[in-house]
Amino acid sequence: MTSFQYTVPTDGLTIEHLLREQWEAGKKTVHFMRMSKSVTGVDGEPVEWKFPQKAGTELTFTVPDAHSTYTPEKMNLKVIFEDEHILVVFKPAGIATHPNDSNQTGTLMNYVMAYVKENGGEYAEHIHRLDQGTAGVILIAKHPIAKTLFDRMIERNEIVRKYQAETDGLMKRPKGTINLPIGKDRHQPSKRLVSISGQSAVTHFRVLERKTDTTIVEAELETGRTHQIRVHLAHLGHPVVGDVLYDGSRTKDGYFRLNATALSFTHPLTGEQLNIEQ
């Protein structure tokens, strides 16, 4: 079980409308919460689901089956932002975002799970992911309702994700938008390419600095396809430095120069506008 606090934002809102219509919580979750009377007021008493609440009313929601199965693994974790709904953490280059099977360790989510458990929690799920070679900020949900809300925000492009990349060559265009679909490379499963039969993909970019033979670029995702920035920049003839999969020049440490630098969004559970930077 996981509990969180919520302040009713407007007069007349009912628990049923909030869960079913606004948050679109899963049917199983909604049924359990109603049957177990797991929405309570400040006095600890269950709240009537169809009773209109007043703005400013403090409620406690207790969510069922709120636990994750990642094996906790202790590691220094850089936490950039945290409240009772979400974490924003820094992922170093060279580690995977999450395990590919239940026995895998050494991933960011193993470290996040250890941190969450140390602080009394049982649940942590990533909202998006970064490639193993990419460093930067990742958003984590701390309970299933937050997971549902933020997943929907990602689908609707309501979370602005900014990246900074160092690319090979001197990019002439000061800014632009790359609107080219991305699909799988049938000859190399781990690779993606621009393909008319692929999924739509949109990347906005602008040049921050031109060096001797490389360019520093800020990129903003409108969609979130696998390897999207890497594929789009390589297609322009300016692959990310170190990204040998897409013909980028090699680096001494073997990592490519791509960092997720910032997240911006309106918090769906607090209404706060957040601009979180690495």
| Position 102 pLDDT exceeds 80 | no
User: What mean pLDDT comes out for the span 64-70?
Assistant: 80
Structure tokens at 13: 């809102």
User: What mean pLDDT comes out for the span 173-187?
Assistant: 95
pLDDT of residue 32: 84
Kindly report, residue by residue over 190-218, the tens digit of the pLDDT: 899 999 999 999 999 999 999 999 999 99
Kindly report, residue by residue over 232-256, the tens digit of the pLDDT: 999 999 999 999 999 999 998 888 9
pLDDT of residue 101: 83
Calculate Rg over the CA atoms of the chain. 21
User: Class of 2-63 per CATH?
Assistant: alpha beta
The CA distances from residue 180 to 49, 90, 205, 206, 224, in Å, are 47, 29, 14, 17, 13
Please state the domain extents for the chain: 2-63, 79-156, 161-260
| Position 105 pLDDT exceeds 80 | yes
Active site residue 131: yes
The whole-model pTM stands at 0.88
What confidence tier does 100 reach under pLDDT thresholds 50, 70, 90?
confident
Give the CATH number of domain 79-156: 3.30.2350.10
Q: Which of 101, 131, 243, 247 is catalytic?
A: 131
Structure tokens at 114: 């250890």
pLDDT of residue 130: 92
Q: Write down the CATH superfamily of domain 161-260.
A: Pseudouridine synthase (3.30.2350.10)
- Longest CA–CA span in the chain (Å) reads 67
| Position 65 pLDDT exceeds 70 | no
Structure tokens at 82: 């945290």
The tokens 């692929």 sit on which residue?
Answer: 198
Asked, colleague to colleague, whether 79-156 and 161-260 share their fold, the answer is yes
84 vs 65: CA distance, rounded Å: 17
